Amino acid sequence: MTSLEWKYKGEFLTINNRKIFVIDEGNSDKTLVILHGYPTSSFDYYKVLPYLTKQYRVIIHDHLGFGFSDKPLDYSYSLIEQADIALLLWEKLNLKNVTLLAHDYGTSVATEIITRNNQSQLTINIEKLILCNGSMHIELAKLRTIQKLLKNKITGKWVAKLANQAIFNRNIRKIYFNKSKVSKEELNEMWFQINYNNGRNIIHLLSNYINERYFFWNRWIGALKQTKIPSKIVWATHDPIAVKAIAEQLHKEIPNNKLLWLENTGHFPMLENPKEWSDVVLK
């Protein structure tokens, strides 16, 4: 599937005067809302959408600054505000009961939402939580050099300017377990969406989420330790960034959870092994 085909599947909704791209598919009375990862978009789920919609109405939006959503220069791109946008979007769609699934960057947006849920601040009922390969325990994550440079306030802007598709392709390939599973066409579509709406001008701003994971560590990990939502941890075993130790630590501290492994799979399991990932998510 091409980026433009994906764009035609979705629609744009205005949240806080910003246009947010949303995919809304499936006719089930059960709803699955998905928070995608960095630096990609809802397009990460194009292979698994046909599996997921067999059991759910599936709603995936591009976070502000990602994919086809607006990419303003005058914005903080705080994970706190990304949580605001997600909640306002779901409210606009009149959602009442949902399963929340999050991957990578999206897991930190999810933990902010769980924090608010613990404090009875939500108008939506989260029935289940599914966490996939995210560096919530940032102290255990194995950050790539480019991530460290981009999150730095001094180097970030210059690294973003120098970034090109060859560097991007190389970094994405490195986080797959089976390098043959990522095609040149798929990388082209990812890069197209990063650049859409002059996205390279803000990629260093998006990278500040790593610093927020340290700053809000107690708020977000504390929320997971207190949540009463039944949770599932779906983790790829060969993710070189969000390593197995993170999943094991989450399994120890989230009260009511089940840990399920995806063997021989890297950081983007929904792209690398879509059928296997979907089976475990839907299990």
Per-residue pLDDT of the chain (283 residues; tens, 9 = 90+): 999 999 999 999 999 999 999 999 999 999 999 999 999 999 999 999 999 999 999 999 999 999 999 999 999 999 999 999 999 999 999 999 999 999 999 999 999 999 999 999 999 999 999 999 999 999 999 866 555 555 555 555 545 565 788 988 998 999 999 999 999 999 999 999 999 999 988 988 898 899 999 999 999 999 999 999 999 999 999 999 999 999 999 999 999 999 999 999 999 999 999 999 999 999 9
- The domain in which residue 195 lies consists of 3-282
pLDDT at 7: 97
Strands, E assignment, 36-169:
57-61, 97-103, 125-132
Report the predicted TM-score, pTM, of the whole model to 2 decimal places: 0.95
Structure confidence at residue 234 (pLDDT): 98
CA distance 126 to 193: 30
Q: How many CA atoms lie within 13 A of 188 on its CB side?
A: 7
Kind and range of the H or E run holding 24: strand 18-25
Strands 18-25 and 57-61: antiparallel
CATH number at residue 45: 3.40.50.1820
Overall number of domains in the chain: 1
- Residue 128 has a CB neighbour count (10 Å cut-off) of 15
State the burial class of residue 9 (Cβ atoms within 10 Å of its Cβ: 0-12, 13-18, 19+): middle
